[in-house]
Structure 1
């Protein structure tokens, strides 16, 4: 029974992804963080139907990732919770502050 449920969930998620990537997004409005200039490298997002989001890099705008509402919500909540905070590279900036603990 659990296996059948898992297969149903996988199939539903696959259908959602296929539908999301089939959307024509040529006319969407791309947003980036406030204060960034058009010439700066930045991440841009576009809001899609049903709470989905498209994301791209300003330096490679032809590569677009698309996320369902559930995926985007999980990412945003994880980012708010610090899941994606950058750790300093080994040996870089030691004793200079930075990192999530300030230093």
Structure 2
């Protein structure tokens, strides 16, 4: 199975423009993944997200990220809002060197 690019973009040098892709050195199928295990019983541990005040479980679609402004007061953050304020310059890729294909495993 072919690896999937983590990032795709273009290199521009003057009037020359070339499509590029960045790939990880290993695929997710080659990584080791661990489960959390109860040391005493050997059973897997289930992660439940529970409201700290009501003790009710919170569904994944009802969970959002937040930043604590004051003790117990949070500013909820929408992922689209964060993406909108990231400067374009942060998406710039600086090239330090070109490596011949024969040098890559």
What's the TM-score bracket when you normalise by the shorter of the two chains? under 0.3
When Rg is computed on C-alpha atoms for both structures, the one with the higher figure is 2
Greater share of strand residues, 1 or 2? Answer: 2
- Relative to its length, the structure with more helix (as a share) is 1
Q: TM-score scaled by structure 2?
A: 0.19
